Amino acid sequence: MKRRQFMQGGLAAIALAGVGSTGLFLLNKKGFVSTVYAADFSTALPIPPLLENLDKTGLTAQFKMAAQLGQRSFFPGKITETAGYNGNFLGPTIRVRNGQRFNLRVDNNLPEVTTLHWHGLHLPAKWDGGPRQPIAPGASWNPDFTIKQQAATLWYHPHAMGKTGEQVYHGLAGLFLIEDEVSDRLDIPKNYGVDDIPVVIQDRRFFSDGQFAYVQNMHETMNGVIGNYMLVNGAMSPTLSVDKQRVRLRLLNGSNSSIYKISFGGQPFQMIASDGGFLDRPVSMTSILLSAGERAEVVLDLSSLKGKKLSMLVDQRGGDRFEAMQINVVKTLQSSTGLPQTLQKVERIPESEADYTRRFVMQSMGMGMMGGGSLTINGKKMDLNRIDEKVKLGATEIWEITNKSAMMMSMPHSMHLHDVQFQILDRDGRRPPVHEQGRKDTVLIQPGETVRIISRFLDYKGVYMYHCHLLEHEDDGMMGQFEVI
């Protein structure tokens, strides 16, 4: 594809690159596939660089980024048109501290409107980066606010109206890490890129010429664009080589619409943090389920695995399993001293504190006589000119969210709230498992399930979003707006 074609057509032109006399794509049971290449794990896991703080004193956090076009070779002899921040695909990791003033200039060097949303951040509404804060091509945006939350693994990505899925798919995403006094003093791995490893997991599908096959029809809108190749930090089947007895993986399900069950071949791990920060204590697990947008920090004890390889397995909704990454334990390790038994006390918000209960129905309607489907919240699609809910500043609220779908369109949804971190009260009346009892901003809701969450709406007035974080659902209008007044 010529650069001129791409520039004129915007990011959508990428999806058209595979159209030719030989047809759109090769098919298998999943729909989209290019030539299958055997995973050889010869590529080292790329580590996104830490974005340089322009304030050399470190007293404030001042950064500069650009959303830009790029190219990446995912297959031998094939070049894929991509997008990224300060690079060809994905973006650098931004690391800040609680209490720091954060200032960033982002330049939009794309041929179309974008935004920059801070997923999981508690911040003034005007800097949220949702569809209400568009950045035109050639323009800049300068969010400026103070970090007011505990240590956590968050992320950033575009949130342009109707374009989120396509822009994320082509590479616009990155991690945003907050540190504080608690993370400083805990005896946990914290050497970024050495034993504290970012792990961004995304599935993709490709046309036979190597271009991303981001093509939507009614099936993809309703089910999400699900890929049949797995990327970790933008690489296929990479290897992470470590020589430490413990390694901390900051897992992000950065996919558009997939749900992942992540495991390590039966090797136990300790989960230490969820979306919004540390849990009360480490939770021993052998697998974890993450919906699109969810994060988890896990620690692997590798002290008994010297000279061995450990596979990170990713089971995808629909039944496919990927050996997504290998961990190569390259040196003799001494016995681990173990993790702290207590991480950080999670203050439970008592249900009795709630001032109000709101009810939301996330509904997927099946194909009608005219062939159309519908994705709604409380029977409505997103309208930027409509405020759906008004919340009083300082209020504590319970949101009761039900996944109600037509029988033939039964599917999970992933509800995300901007600005606030919440706690899960119950799932169908049952207390959530221990690893879901921390701070959250995104929650998976299975078909027919009702989940109740509770949150405090503090500090800031303004208009924020709530939506399904299956990005194709979001782009189709499964979103709403709440205003803190």
Q: Are 35 and 76 in contact (CB under 8 A)?
A: no
**What pLDDT does 190 receive?**
96
Residue 484 has pLDDT above 60, yes or no: yes
Q: What is the pLDDT of residues 435-471, one digit of tens each?
A: 999 999 999 999 999 999 999 999 999 999 999 999 9
Protein fold of 351-484: Immunoglobulin-like (2.60.40)
- The CATH superfamily of 3-185 is Cupredoxins -  blue copper proteins (2.60.40.420)
Residue 225 has pLDDT above 70, yes or no: yes
**What pLDDT does 410 receive?**
76
Residue 28 has pLDDT above 90, yes or no: no
**What pLDDT does 6 receive?**
29
**What pLDDT does 2 receive?**
32
Q: Are 84 and 114 in contact (CB under 8 A)?
A: no
C-alpha to C-alpha distance for 7 and 113, rounded to whole angstroms: 13
* % pLDDT > 90, the chain: 82
Residue 368 has pLDDT above 60, yes or no: no
Tokens 């999943």, residue located: 30
Output the DSSP codes for 284-309. Answer: EESEEEE-TT-EEEEEEE-TT-TT-E
**What pLDDT does 38 receive?**
59
Residue 112 has pLDDT above 70, yes or no: yes
C-alpha to C-alpha distance for 441 and 148, rounded to whole angstroms: 15
Q: What is the pLDDT of residues 379-393, one digit of tens each?
A: 999 999 999 999 999
Q: 229 pLDDT band (50/70/90 cuts)?
A: very high
Domain range summary for the chain, segments of one domain joined by +? 3-185, 196-329, 351-484
Range scoring the smallest mean pLDDT among 94-103, 233-242, 263-272, 370-379: 370-379
Name the β-bridge partners of 271: 283, 298
CATH class of 196-329: mainly beta
